[in-house]
Structure 1
């Protein structure tokens, strides 16, 4: 069970998280925690004049699945709007809940399929996507 859940690609992603430095002057910061496992993600964002993510910083203290999810989020968040980030969050949430057959169109999320039967891990997987979607929405309002 453990080998299938924590495969080589997930472990590699967990060690290659982009944008790991917090931003000095973010437009918005959001912290999300999983009460189940204690994982924590803080996401800072700056948005451009169109409300798209122009800069991203994050602090990730999570299991390998949460770290891998944060890596996938950060690889593709720049240039995305709050609406796109909310859609990615919602698709991932529905996928983990068994409400859809795929995780949506966010690149790479299918690597997390081995975690589907492990419901206790889902909160950690969602953290980075929840945080970035909330931060982008807050930054758009503040801008």
Structure 2
């Protein structure tokens, strides 16, 4: 198990997580904790006027699998639409839980985590950064809608 899921590629990703930290003025923040293992991600985002990710930062305290997924996320997220982000999260979840094909498009690098599907105890940790990112963009969209309605 260890050799299969903790490959050199996964360990390299985990060790080099892009966009680590916090944004000074996020429009949305999402936080997710995997109950089974305690992996945790806090994600800050800003969106442009076309609902694309303009700013992104993440604090991820997770196993190498969660950090590897967060590394792919951090590397590819700037410029992604909210739909692309949600679709990638959903495709990652389907790949892990239902044997679906890996995500395509800008988040195709998540295919490296396909081996995790055989280890259900690791699914939540692998998803933690994407779940937090989706929560953050939903909050950013909600905040923007509330501000527009108040104007």
Aligned 1:1-143 pairs, distance under 5 A: 1-105=1-105, 106-143=107-144
Following the alignment from structure 1 to structure 2, what is the Cα–Cα distance between the partners of residues 129 and 33?
A: 11
Instruction: Flag structure 1 segments of 5+ consecutive residues without an equivalent.
Output: none
Q: Where in structure 1 do 4 or more consecutive aligned residues deviate above 3 Å?
A: none
Q: Distance in 2 between the 1:100 and 1:67 partners?
A: 22
Answer whether contact 2:47 2:140 (CA < 8 A) is retained. Answer: yes
User: Structure 2: any 5+ residue segments left out of the alignment?
Assistant: 145-151
Alpha-carbon RMSD? 1.2
* Bigger helix fraction: 2
Structure 1 SS opposite 2:108: coil
State the Cα distance separating 1:42 from its structure 2 match: 0.3
User: How far off is 1:111 after superposition?
Assistant: 0.5
TM-score by length of 1: 0.95
Could you say which structure has the larger radius of gyration? 2
Aligned residues: 143
Q: Scaled by the length of structure 2, what TM-score is found?
A: 0.90
